[in-house]
Amino acid sequence: MTEEQARSYRHSVETAGEPPDEAATAIRLGNALRRLARVVTGSDAGDQALDEAADEIERLADRLEPHAQPSRYPQAERLGGPSGMFVTHPIVGTINPCAPPMRVTPGATGVVGTVVYGTPFEGPPGYAHGGHIAAGFDVILAMTAGVNGVGGLTRSLSVRYRKPTPLHAELVYEGVIGETSERLTTVTGKLMAGDVVCAEAVGEFARRPPAG
């Protein structure tokens, strides 16, 4: 990455944390769908209530189906501008109803992510699923490399689960740059629930050569 590319990447991370006003309606819909996912996961509602809800949701899906696109990026650029690539992201995008979402903040040397994993992300009873935890690390470590100008595609990711990660609690991901070479960047990270380290990770990222 060039310095300009690194600045642009940092701006994209900042935009994910503070989406523009133009995205407000889409974010409202994303929040509503996340709420829906939460209340139907583990629900004790009877069949009649579920059938009625399914009828209503299918009607709404039919209404929006003509506007569906095969990629999330056109919407991200339309609502977030040139730096909006993360506003529809599957982990940090507030527009994306599949995202928890994680709120990301770039710092002087890395990226911090805060997230609450709710019922749809439950693995063992009362705890977050390890796959979602790993996905969070992939994002934070990749963003840490990117804002430091040494980012690229994930080459490998290793996660060590130290303690069960609680649901319905604020969690903090942190990333720190490790070793760098011409072709590879290593980033380490940890996931905290208060003062408890729930998991640690190491990621390797294939560096992108500067354009031109």
pLDDT attached to residue 174? 96
The DSSP 8-state label assigned to residue 53 in this structure reads H
DSSP helix, strand, coil percent of the chain (3-state; round to 5): 40, 25, 30
pLDDT tens, residue by residue, 1-54: 778 888 888 889 999 989 999 999 999 999 999 999 999 999 999 999 999 999
| pTM of the full structure | 0.92
Instruction: Specify burial of residue 177 (Cβ count, 10 A radius: 0-12, 13-18, 19+).
Output: middle
pLDDT at 175 over 50: yes
Decide: 177 and 185 in contact? Cβ < 8 Å.
yes
Reported as a pLDDT band with limits 50, 70 and 90, residue 212 is: very low
Q: What is the pLDDT of residue 107?
A: 85
Assigned CATH for 3-207: 3.10.129.10
**Is the pLDDT confidence value at 210 over 70?**
no
